[in-house]
Amino acid sequence: MQVVNASQILPGMVLAEDVKTKSGQVIMDKGTVLNERLIARLDFYSISSITIESSEPSEPQVTEQPKAPDPEPQPSQQKFLEAGRASYSQKIQRSSKFRSFQVSYTRCVLNTKESFNQIKNGQYPGSSALLSSSLNVINEFHLNAMDLFDMLQNMRVVDDAIYAHCVNVACIVRVFGKWMKYDKERINLLTLAGLLHDIGKTMIPSSILDKQEKLTDAEYQICQMHTYYGYDLLKNLPVPKEVLSAAKSHHELCDGSGYPDHLKSDDIDDITLMVGVADIYDAMTAARSYRAPICPFTVIKHFEDAGLQKYRADILMTFLSHIAGTHLHNRVLLSDGSQATIMMLNEKKLSRPLVQFDDGKVLDLSYDRSLDIIQML
Ligand SMILES: [Fe+2]
């Protein structure tokens, strides 16, 4: 253990003790691996020193590397890049940690593809084998929720989109299960349900799945069949019933407006509902070959607009408040091109936090509706 002054704190250091404010409120847990955003949070709370586990900082998680292949900047990032600084997304993509993560992640996606093919041939690889081969990426990197979401959002998948999406949803619900305070066994069940939820999509023609234009009604109906196909692929295998239910019902909504069976709240189990929320979150925030990741605050707004009648309140609010919380003290781009820092969340309107501009001016977006957060920087 070693005490480090605020000015010497570096990304990669691991907290040996909880960090508390002067009033005794814990703001960071023991065992947390620090990154740039967390260090900013320590600064925000005027923490003068911390106790870390080792004197040698591990490899920085988000650092600029001298010459890495730069992804194409998105138009909205251009202004910021022209100012001579890389965006947050660019910093992640340039980090050596991200590149190692990419290698491990790609292996997990390929393993998942192999496992799905086995299942389609009527062979079940076993729940623990599935979890370990497809989710090595989580165990290997020991990422906290914030870093994991950052990495997944920046992973650009051109091929194998179904398998990558299933790996992403499994990773997301695993974190989600911890937020819901589930025990280890239930978290594993939830993770498996996330991994297998869209296996039925492997039965849908790629001409429909990969279609860039809007689907016709007939094509949309075929696409919706993936829930039945998934159920059929798994029903005769020794998979837990919750996994079977998630494959069939992850598009159901609490008010009965979902599909395929228009189930209502009481007939949908929590694991299926959580997989459904993670499914939408990943579909919207993951990078695609044709677009940059959608801003998490836009996705939070999507859920808020959909209303609580479509989701179970405890599940949705746990998810959204943690997602919003991981972006506290993040720099953001607003719809008028200005930049600011997220300073405080509004519990009743998580998509519209309080932000502060560089000149010190503070704006509560829950009152001022003229500006939106359009990108994390
Ligand atoms: Fe689906």
pLDDT at residue 279, rounded to an integer: 96
Q: Is the pLDDT of residue 88 over 70?
A: no
65 belongs to a structural domain: no
pLDDT at residue 84, rounded to an integer: 37
Q: How confident is the model at residue 240 (pLDDT cuts 50, 70, 90)?
A: very high
217 and 365: one domain? no
| 118 CA to centre of ligand 1 in angstroms | 20
Q: Choose the final residue of a domain: 274, 294, 314.
A: 294
What residues are neighbours of ligand 1 (ion), with CB under 5 Å? 198
pLDDT at residue 195, rounded to an integer: 96
232 and 313: one domain? no
* Percent share of the chain, pLDDT over 70: 85
Question: Tens of pLDDT along 27-86?
Answer: 787 888 787 667 766 765 668 888 888 643 333 333 323 333 333 334 433 333 333 345
238 belongs to a structural domain: yes
Residue pair 195/134 in contact by the 8 Å Cβ criterion: yes
310 and 187: one domain? no
User: Which residues span the domain enclosing 310?
Assistant: 295-377
Handedness of CA 66, 71, 77, 83 (dihedral sign): positive
2 phi and psi, to 5 degrees?
-150, 135
181 and 320: one domain? no
Tokens of 259: 């599909």
Q: How confident is the model at residue 210 (pLDDT cuts 50, 70, 90)?
A: confident
DSSP assignment of 310-357 equals GS-HHHHHHHHHHHHHHTTT-EEEETTS-EEEEEE--TT-TTS-EEEE
* Percent share of the chain, pLDDT over 90: 52
Question: Tens of pLDDT along 187-203?
Answer: 999 999 999 999 999 99
Number of domains the chain is built from: 3
| 92 CA to centre of ligand 1 in angstroms | 28
171 belongs to a structural domain: yes
| 305 CA to centre of ligand 1 in angstroms | 21
| 181 CA to centre of ligand 1 in angstroms | 25
pLDDT at residue 99, rounded to an integer: 84
185 and 202: one domain? yes
| 252 CA to centre of ligand 1 in angstroms | 10
Point out which residues pair with 363 in neighbouring strands.
355
pLDDT at residue 182, rounded to an integer: 97
304 and 345: one domain? yes
| 196 CA to centre of ligand 1 in angstroms | 10
275 and 313: one domain? no
- Contacts for 206 with CB less than 8 Å, ≥ 6 apart: none
CA distance 246 to 231: 9
Q: Can you state the angle between helices 313-326 and 145-153, rounded to 10 degrees? A: 80
CA distance 186 to 181: 10
- Contacts for 166 with CB less than 8 Å, ≥ 6 apart: 112, 116, 134, 194, 195, 196, 197, 198, 199
pLDDT at residue 294, rounded to an integer: 86
58 belongs to a structural domain: no
| 363 CA to centre of ligand 1 in angstroms | 38
CA distance 374 to 51: 36
Task: Please tell me the least confidently modeled range out of 74-83, 172-181, 228-237, 300-309.
Answer: 74-83
H helices present in 59-95, as ranges: 75-82, 88-94
Q: Is the pLDDT of residue 319 over 70?
A: yes
156 and 229: one domain? yes
Mean pLDDT, the chain, as a whole number? 84
| 65 CA to centre of ligand 1 in angstroms | 37
| 243 CA to centre of ligand 1 in angstroms | 13
Amino acid at 333: L
Question: Tens of pLDDT along 253-270?
Answer: 999 999 999 999 999 999
206 and 305: one domain? no
| 361 CA to centre of ligand 1 in angstroms | 43
pLDDT at residue 345, rounded to an integer: 94
| 205 CA to centre of ligand 1 in angstroms | 15
| 133 CA to centre of ligand 1 in angstroms | 22
| 226 CA to centre of ligand 1 in angstroms | 7
234 and 185: one domain? yes
287 belongs to a structural domain: yes
Task: Please tell me the least confidently modeled range out of 113-122, 128-137, 306-315.
Answer: 128-137
Question: Tens of pLDDT along 322-355?
Answer: 999 988 888 899 999 999 999 999 989 999 999 9
Q: Is the pLDDT of residue 180 over 90?
A: yes
| 38 CA to centre of ligand 1 in angstroms | 34
| 283 CA to centre of ligand 1 in angstroms | 10
Phi-psi region of 197 (alpha: psi -120 to 50; beta: other; left: phi over 0): alpha
Question: Tens of pLDDT along 273-285?
Answer: 999 999 999 999 8
pLDDT at residue 64, rounded to an integer: 29
- Average of pLDDT values for 140-156? 77
35 and 79: one domain? no
121 phi and psi, to 5 degrees?
-90, 10
- Average of pLDDT values for 197-214? 91
- More confident of the two residues 307 and 141: 307
Q: Is the pLDDT of residue 303 over 70?
A: yes
Q: What is the pTM of this model?
A: 0.76
